[in-house]
Amino acid sequence: MAVSKLPFAALSLKQFLQRQKVLGIYRNMLRTIQRVPDEADRKYLRDWARGEFKRNRSATDQDAVRMMITQANNHLEELQSSLALAKS
């Protein structure tokens, strides 16, 4: 009998892809926050983003995670459009 080399709690392909999507959104969020001109606002937004992602880190329900991804994308788009308007 062959023994699997994968850890017991290995992610499925769907979970892995979802995790990569979440990490990508998180990185984009932090990069976008770096463009905020005011230091206090940057710190507030960085702490908020980290807190939200950390709070939802243990979520496993696929539907809930998809909903959170959609919300995070919406927040990211709002932040990016606000920064674009501020530069105009």
Query: How does pLDDT run across 15-63, given as a tens digit for each residue?
Result: 889 999 999 999 999 999 999 999 999 999 999 999 999 999 998 888 9
User: Can you tell me the distance from the alpha carbon of 18 to that of 11, in angstroms, rounded to the nearest whole number?
Assistant: 10
Query: How does pLDDT run across 62-84, given as a tens digit for each residue?
Result: 899 999 999 999 999 999 999 99
User: Can you tell me the distance from the alpha carbon of 58 to that of 35, in angstroms, rounded to the nearest whole number?
Assistant: 29
pTM, entire model: 0.83
- pLDDT for residue 4: 61
Residue 1 has pLDDT above 60, yes or no: no
User: Can you tell me the distance from the alpha carbon of 33 to that of 43, in angstroms, rounded to the nearest whole number?
Assistant: 9
Residue 3, both tokens: 């023994």
Sorted by sequence, the CB contacts under 8 Å of residue 76 that are 6+ apart come out as 25, 28, 29, 32
User: Which amino acid is present at 15?
Assistant: Q
Closest by CA position to 14, among listed 69, 55, 54 = 69
Q: What residue segments make up the domains of the chain, in order of their start? A: 12-38
- pLDDT for residue 53: 94
